[in-house]
Amino acid sequence: MFPHSFSRQVCRCIHSLDRFLSECAKIPAVRKIFMPSLFIVLSVSAAILFACAHAVDGMLFLCGSALLLLAVISLPIVYRNALRVGPSGAGRTGFFRISGRGARMALLLFLAAFCSIYVAWRVDGMLSPDMPSLGRSVWIATVENVVNKRYYREAVIRFHNADFSGDGSDGPAQRHRGVVRASGGSFGAGDTIRFTGKPVVVDQKGAGSSRGTLMMLMRGVRYIFYLDGAPVTVVRDETSNREKVRELLAQNCDALFKRKTAAMVKALYFGNQDYIDKLTMNDFKRAGVFHILSAGGLHVGVVAAIPVFLLGLARVNRRIAMIAAVLTVLAYLSITDMPVSLLRSCLMFCTFAVQRIVGRETNIYNALFLSAAVVLLLFPGEIFGLGFQLSYGATMGILLFHARYRKAISWLPAIAANPIALTLSAQLLVLPVLLFRMNELNLAGLVSNIVVVPLMSFLLVLSIAANALSFVPVVAAWVAGMSDAVYWLAGRIVCFMSGLGGHYYVDAPGPLLAVAFVLLVAPLLPPFRGIRPVSLSILAAVLTAWLSLGGPMAAVTDSVTEVRHDRGTLLLVKNGATLSIIGRYPGRHLTDRLLGEIASVSCRDIDLHLPHADYEDVSACSRLLRRLPVSRCCLTGGFRLRGYIRRFFTLLETDGVDLVIDEMVRPGPEDGLRRLYGALSPPDTGQNPGGKVKKRVRFLTLH
């Protein structure tokens, strides 16, 4: 009796589960999200984390286990939702079926297992035991890819020793994969170059290892050459057509637009923010519109719309127009530096377009998951990249919550409701990532996105039109002038919003931020959905977050932070929106701690003061200069012009930093710094007009 009763209970449980899954599959959101591509991307992500946990960090095993559990939970719903062939016939009841869905299930499991094993094998090979150290020598390398960074050119290379004869007498050449960071030299993808240097081994277990190191290893890069001023000779010039198109387009932009407009246009075209100066980037970041500088869905939409619009005017078949749009988007992707946000957008568009071309039902979630799976299969290290997490998190948030936020604030004018709903939905899943990884929160984006995003979209359209009309110089110049005017207007608005102080550094999120997040989510909850007064919780969320981040105290415009460290004392003097950094600068091991303290002092401009222009201080200032939006550098006279000073001046020139050389008295460790601060800032008279200006002095010790 017991075995028969037990088997009957099991059958009842299976049938109950089958009915439950059938009901879940009828929910519209479930039908859209739980696709086979979701199971594949979860499985691939889990495999990457398992492989990294085995080679690098065992804590990643817990994250991989969580993703694998989500994949297992999603599989039954995917089975009932997306693997159905047709309505069940007579006698075809039960949870498992061999035909129809059963065959598709077997194919899905095979694909997921194959992709997971393949990517785990790749990651394990990339994170294999450390490579041997190589000495200084002359190397011959084939350039695979080149990216123009702000201070150097970064090239991915395949290199071997130049002493290899190649006649077979000394065996096959041992080729390695690495990265060259050179401040000079004219070389491109496909060229063969020759240089002298000693490679640095990339070690994930060594000191200073980070997510960036892990991502570099997972790109197959094991060595780095730092060729600061060293000559790079092009042995064989085989510049690709891609490089020629990029160079021609960049030259055309420089000829058509003003300098700052040309830098912005090239950044939008090539997906490389290093074309833009750091002060402008800092303004966009503080204004909450930094995302517009990353090539993504907006750029793909504009590029794809061009052939669709032109062929539509000629009444060409829609499928042909869609094929032309796909080819145009792929051509655009090929000339860029392929940031992950742009790669995601291109893959999503191509997947979506192919579904339209073949007449299949379109599913934007399926396109999103498929693009994520392809990106992780090609570049497994992107799972740790901030760009990957922000891009997919923001896109998923828009797909899930935009319509609901739009309905909650439908009482607002459409010109304001659409961008606000878009910003809220994009930020909902991104906020935890920014707080955890960057300790940053921005409250100004709700307002600035309404105006800046349309202006930057218009700038992109005008710039494309100006480049397309280059064969008619008069018309192209007129359109380029309009582009300059649009960018000037957008820049003024961004500068104004940046000065409002809506960008915050959050060292330790407090309970009020959790309350603000709950208020932000309230309009999405089923009990409150469609109730207009509940939408005021969005405003309450912003006010609560503002109070938790200081509220009225955030208006402090005059403050002094005395930082003590192993090399002396440093002052962080804030006057309005300007931060002056004065004194002795700490060593390399304390740079990250100091950057965190500087970020906590909300400022728009940074001035560096070097009372001691010795090697240690200049080197420390150079490290800060590379990572901060410095506008002015004050250097005490009497220094000697040596090699490190020349390199420092080169950095200042690259960033366009104003250099001031004076004969101010060298201050002592503490009292002299305070006297120097008194010379830079007016004394506190006790007057506080309007209650807006306050003075705060605090002390900090770095270890």
Residue 554 has pLDDT above 60, yes or no: no
Residue 172 has pLDDT above 80, yes or no: no
Q: Where are the domains of the chain?
A: 16-85+97-126, 137-239, 245-501, 511-549, 556-701
Residues in contact with 426: Cβ distance below 8 Å, sequence separation at least 6, in sequence order? 291, 394, 395, 397, 398
Nearest to 696 by CA among 526, 590, 559, 572: 559
Read off the pLDDT of residues 422-473 as tens digits, 9 standing for 90 and up.
888 888 888 888 888 888 888 888 788 888 888 888 898 899 889 888 888 8
CATH classification for the domain delimited by 137-239, as one of 2.60.40, 1.10.3470, 3.40.630, 2.40.50:
2.40.50
Q: Which long-range contacts (CB under 8 A, 24 or more apart) does 397-404 make?
A: 397/425, 397/426, 397/427, 397/428, 397/429, 397/430, 398/422, 398/425, 398/426, 399/364, 399/365, 399/368, 400/425, 401/425, 401/428, 401/524, 404/523, 404/524, 404/529
Poorest-pLDDT segment among 1-15, 37-51, 210-224, 236-250: 1-15
Res 164: pLDDT: 59
**pTM for the complete prediction?**
0.81
Read off the pLDDT of residues 54-71 as tens digits, 9 standing for 90 and up.
767 667 788 888 888 988
Nearest to 552 by CA among 431, 696, 447: 696
Read off the pLDDT of residues 93-139 as tens digits, 9 standing for 90 and up.
444 444 456 777 888 889 999 999 999 888 887 777 667 778 888 88
Read off the pLDDT of residues 595-604 as tens digits, 9 standing for 90 and up.
877 877 777 7
CA distance 407 to 412: 10
Res 529: pLDDT: 67
Poorest-pLDDT segment among 4-13, 125-134, 501-510, 539-548: 4-13
Task: Tell how strand 503-505 and strand 558-565 pair up.
Answer: unpaired
State mean pLDDT over 226-238.
Answer: 80
* Phi, psi dihedrals of residue 244, rounded to the nearest 5°: -65, -40
Q: Give the 3-state secondary structure of 167-226.
A: CCCCCCCCCEEEEEEECCCCCCCCCEEEEEECCEECCCCCCCCCHHHHHHHCCCCCEEEE
Res 552: pLDDT: 53
> CB–CB of 130/201 below 8 Å?
yes
Residue 664 has pLDDT above 60, yes or no: no
376 sits in which H/E element: helix 364-378
Res 352: pLDDT: 81
Poorest-pLDDT segment among 310-319, 364-373, 395-404, 544-553: 544-553
CA distances from 257 to 335, 565, 576, 655 (A): 20, 47, 33, 20
Quick one: DSSP state of residue 362? P
CA distance 699 to 152: 37
Res 44: pLDDT: 92
> CB–CB of 102/33 below 8 Å?
no
State mean pLDDT over 572-588.
Answer: 83
- What are 525's two structure tokens? 């909850």
Quick one: DSSP state of residue 385? -
Higher-pLDDT residue of 94, 266:
266
Q: Indicate the pLDDT class of residue 691, thresholds 50, 70 and 90.
A: very low
Residue 548 has pLDDT above 70, yes or no: yes
Read off the pLDDT of residues 1-56 as tens digits, 9 standing for 90 and up.
445 565 666 566 655 656 665 655 566 666 778 788 889 999 999 999 888 887 67
- pLDDT above 70: percentage of residues in the chain: 80
144 sits in which H/E element: strand 137-148
CA distance 160 to 137: 10
Q: Indicate the pLDDT class of residue 688, thresholds 50, 70 and 90.
A: very low
* Phi, psi dihedrals of residue 195, rounded to the nearest 5°: -155, 170
Burial class of residue 649, CB neighbours in 10 A (0-12, 13-18, 19+):
middle
CA distance 541 to 512: 9
Instruction: Work out the end-to-end distance of the chain between its first and last CA atoms, rounded to an integer number of angstroms.
Output: 73
Write down the mean pLDDT value for the chain.
78
Q: Which long-range contacts (CB under 8 A, 24 or more apart) does 414-419 make?
A: 415/450, 416/450, 419/449, 419/450, 419/453, 419/454
Res 92: pLDDT: 46
Residue 243 has pLDDT above 90, yes or no: no
Read off the pLDDT of residues 334-370 as tens digits, 9 standing for 90 and up.
888 777 778 888 888 888 888 778 777 677 888 888 8
CA distance 126 to 214: 10
State mean pLDDT over 531-541.
Answer: 79
Res 385: pLDDT: 82
CA distance 214 to 199: 18
